Structure 1
């Protein structure tokens, strides 16, 4: 598909960035005007529109606007991820799971629920599932691992579970043999035993009603997600995540992220390069 070579005016950029922000919480600064222009050019071509002002009007007033808003979100979200990303943090995640198991009297049966918020194409979610298979051996514990994202496009890719060698660059040969089917020299598909303990949902972190329908989680991973939000959106997202966590539950952020000046709802229990927060 060829992109239309049309410039995005400052006036229309401001209208589009407000619309994107209101829907998703994602904030495009003036410095990212060209990025938004580049990402949305394909949508002009797909809809046979002549300029970005027409595209904005389409999003606001077309009878097909709900469908196009989904395409808009697919276009503006950033989906950089990989398997076994930031292993020092993931090792602490495994330790937290073991701690939850050892400090609770589960009786005959217990379910531990984990939420990958902003799961993108599924690498983090499947990594979590593999780590559980490799490290947690309690027979009376069931794990439910839920991945959510605002983009239906990346969720579709996650459900397919097919990845190239670059996405799997941090995976060992043993893990590849055990949990993936090799399609060709550079393509692998996740095995059903991992897929079967994962669930994907199209959820907007700005929508607390949708999050409440997920019910409560023991652990939330929201790594490298809120860095794309402005201050107000970060606060709203964190409040919504807090709503989705059980009392005593844990929140993992990306190694460069912090709730400092964002929220005082959580207690900081991890330091250094592993931001870890607990709901008191």
Structure 2
């Protein structure tokens, strides 16, 4: 028999380690888990609690997360939220990201992966062309459900609210079950993460266009819940969308977010970043002259901002002589006419340049694909080691249905990406690094039926 004092201590430790809170109706399950975990280690309940309290015990915290969490879910759960995502959020985001062609989505408390794959399917369906990059990150503290998520295979019960057309297009039979097709699986990654802790890589500012965090906040303590909401708000891009569970509410005026209503559901949008607040005048002191920033310093700063997808800030910081970076940033921000003029000015003053021709190709993709291909061909001719024009030509060939031509370009791009210059990847990778771009090449090669 577990004493009330032991049970109270266990719940306090769970709040500290996992950030979870428990109702009195959960006492039976909590006591059962406490007894089972102490028995599994062959120690008394008191010894178990002492060990849990005394030091970091990551593997045991993971076991507790699995034993205590509720993991039942299914594809396209709460269809009204996915309708808002499909009909309102994604069309706005796609228009805003026309220059970048990248969408990033985040499933917080993803359980066995149905929500993350639902987000991926919805986003891939919404993209206007195969050259768009979709990434979905799913996080959960329960290692066992993440193992099932990575397997991407589900029973018919998990697809009970999935339209038949969607089932035929995005799933394949796996015995009596269904497996998510590789095109979707390749866009999703799963990470073991305890939301009671921070992770600067996961919660990078302005990283995600859409965050789903449904039916999780109600299980968290007030402090952990507030910290998580702040992290999610900070991690959204300007104008990004946050969807919570129907039992979760942030009130009518959440900090940094706008409350929205549509199609019978509530969601939130990230406010545009406000201008920095004025700072008081410094005290009169003897000034120490800082080292003047060099052109190289400024260029490094711009590349750093681009790595963080902070394109507007990077454009504001770009130096007057860094014309290529200015043109790339204008294209990233959808200001294609200005970007095109910048590329032409580079060519007028500096002669044939692979980077300038590539930038011109990016500017032409939306209005004239043939001109874009011509510019990419010239960029690849001028610099045979330049991976990105080969990648773009491969994607455009896929769009035309030329799988053989696409495979040739994508194979070349995949090899060139191995040695591509890091700074060039920052400039022309659309916010994605070597690994993500290589994965895109492999995915498109699979779609072409090419062997590598």
Normalising TM by the smaller chain, what interval? 0.7 to 0.9
* Secondary structure, counterpart of 1:276 in structure 2: strand
Cα distance in 2 for residues equivalent to 1:253 and 1:276? 7
CA contact (8 A) 2:2 2:35 kept: no
> Which runs of no fewer than 5 residues in structure 2 stay unpaired?
272-452
Match of 1:48 among 42, 45, 54: 42
1:99 aligns with 2:89: no
Which of structures 1 and 2 has the larger relative contact order (alpha carbons within 8 angstroms, sep 6+)? 1
| Structure whose residues are more often helix by fraction | 2
Counterpart in the other structure of 2:80: 88
Cα distance in 2 for residues equivalent to 1:217 and 1:254? 18
Cα distance in 2 for residues equivalent to 1:162 and 1:236? 33
- Aligned counterparts, 1:122-271, within 5 A: 122-185=113-176, 187-210=177-200, 211-213=202-204, 216-260=207-251, 263-270=254-261
* Secondary structure, counterpart of 1:182 in structure 2: strand
Q: CA deviation at 1:247?
A: 2.1
1:22 aligns with 2:16: yes
Counterpart in the other structure of 2:283: none
| Structure whose residues are more often strand by fraction | 1
CA contact (8 A) 1:110 1:140 kept: yes
Runs of 4+, deviation exceeding 6 Å? none
Q: CA deviation at 1:92?
A: 0.3
CA contact (8 A) 1:231 1:262 kept: no
Cα distance in 2 for residues equivalent to 1:263 and 1:28? 25
Counterpart in the other structure of 1:71: 63
* Cα distance, 1:74–1:213 mapped onto 2, change above 3 Å: farther
* Cα distance, 1:261–1:14 mapped onto 2, change above 3 Å: farther
* Secondary structure, counterpart of 1:98 in structure 2: helix
Q: CA deviation at 1:60?
A: 3.0
* Cα distance, 1:125–1:214 mapped onto 2, change above 3 Å: farther
* Cα distance, 1:126–1:59 mapped onto 2, change above 3 Å: same
> Which runs of no fewer than 5 residues in structure 1 stay unpaired?
1-6
* Cα distance, 1:227–1:271 mapped onto 2, change above 3 Å: farther
